[in-house]
Amino acid sequence: MSTLLRLVGPADLPSLKRPAVDAETLAAAARIVESVRTSGEAALRGLAERFDDLPPGAPLLIPRDHLAAAFHRLPVAEQALLARTAERIQRFASAQRAAIGDVTVDIPGGRAGHTVSPVEHAGCYAPGGRFPLPSSVLMTAITARVAGVTHVVVASPRPAPATLAAAYVAGADALLPIGGAQAIAALAYGAGPVPACDVIVGPGNRWVTAAKQLVSGQVGIDMLAGPSELVVLATAEAQADPDTIAADLLAQAEHDPDALPILVTTDPTLPARVDAALARQLDVLPTADTARPAVANGFAVLCDDLDTAIRVCDTLAPEHLEVLAPDAEALRPRFRHYGGLFLGHGAAEVLGDYGAGPNHVLPTGGTARHVGGLSVFTFLRVRTWMSMDAPGPLARDAAALARIEGLEGHARSAERRLVPAP
């Protein structure tokens, strides 16, 4: 039987670091973004009609009352499911928001501090191509609302009824039924009734990622996310079930042919048993055409001990990291680099995908070494302030430092604070 997950050693570990988008896509996306930036609604309509996102003459934005109607047309069980999921996401995001607040401290001669405030406009992208993802609508738009964002627009091409309903449940003001680089450009620069946003978030294909890279700096973005990744770390002592591991790996593999399913283990018998389970499950998986090439991208890493396995996981810095060990939660402090951590047999990564609470928009490609996942903090600005009653001591120091730097104008400005105000 052929091997599905190639076996590698810790010394030969492939890197997950890869460009978020290829140069050819970036160049093509740049032409689309520039077209929308300079020609606005006309360019957006033309591109949307060209890519079959929008019928000629259709409204660019689906208003909130239409989103509400879509929600009420869903079966009652689906309405309740969306509401329960939304409540869990909202509760977790609210706890995050409560974790950071305004600060005031005394400084020589006065006071300084910071305030925490949300941006005004947010654009939340949710894919709609291979699969509709109402879960991504909930994850992004609810988080923006909890942060306090005033106006939230969701963008999703050819939105399914559940996507429209999720936008309503999440509190979105409207939905832009357009995808790709043109949607990101519209959210960044504005186009007709589509407002220019301050922050754009959410997962998408390479065209979405390329456009987010191009508009970053003009607007804030969450991250440049690539294909999904999952590392399952299973220790020999865990006696982990190979069928469960295979199911978890395939759950990520079915996202995209470029997804990366990875097994890290200290059990020398486990790679072959997981391989056999993958083969059995692929034979009956409806999304096998997508998952099979992703599995071919993946690999298994056999480690001599737990310390080595943890080092391997930190080197990979994956989007998702599942830990199957007898006392997985006790190991949590030992992991340094990951997007989302899932501890123990019950904490399946898919439960995070579908609204356990923490956000499922997470860094990929090894970027978890320097960035975290989407959260309320993505939509917040920490801004500092200062008030001085007696600026003398600080003014003298400022003038002295300014002269060390050769900036006499700075020094004179500081020294003006040594004389009484008129």
Q: Which residue type occupies 93?
A: A
CB atoms within 10 A of CB 257: 17
Q: Report d(CA 177, CA 83) in Å as an integer.
A: 22
Rounded to whole angstroms, how far apart are CA atoms 95 and 131?
Answer: 31
Cβ contact 13:260 at 8 Å: no
308: enclosing H helix or E strand? helix 306-316
- Active-site hit among 319, 322, 349, 360: 319
Q: Which of 72, 71, 75, 84 is nearest to 354 (CA)?
A: 84
| Contact yes or no for 194/47 (Cβ under 8 A) | no
66 is an active site residue: no
Question: Pick the catalytic residue: 320, 322, 349, 360?
Answer: 320
Distance between alpha carbon 315 and the CA centroid of its chain, in Å? 20
Q: Give the CA angle between residues 152, 158, 163 to the nearest 5°.
A: 50
Angstrom distance (rounded) from CA 24 to CA 80: 44
**H/E segment holding residue 104:** strand 103-107
Measured distance CA(32)–CA(219) in Å, rounded:
17
> Could you tell me the sign of the dihedral formed by the alpha carbons of 350, 355, 357, 359, in that order?
positive
| DSSP classification of residue 197 | P
Helix, strand, coil % over all residues of the chain, rounded to 5: 45, 20, 35
Is 320 catalytic? The answer is yes
Query: Where is 136: in which H helix or E strand?
Result: helix 134-137
Residue pair 286/257 in contact by the 8 Å Cβ criterion: no
Q: Which tokens in the block code for residue 244? A: 């469960």
Hey, which residues are catalytic here?
A: 319-320
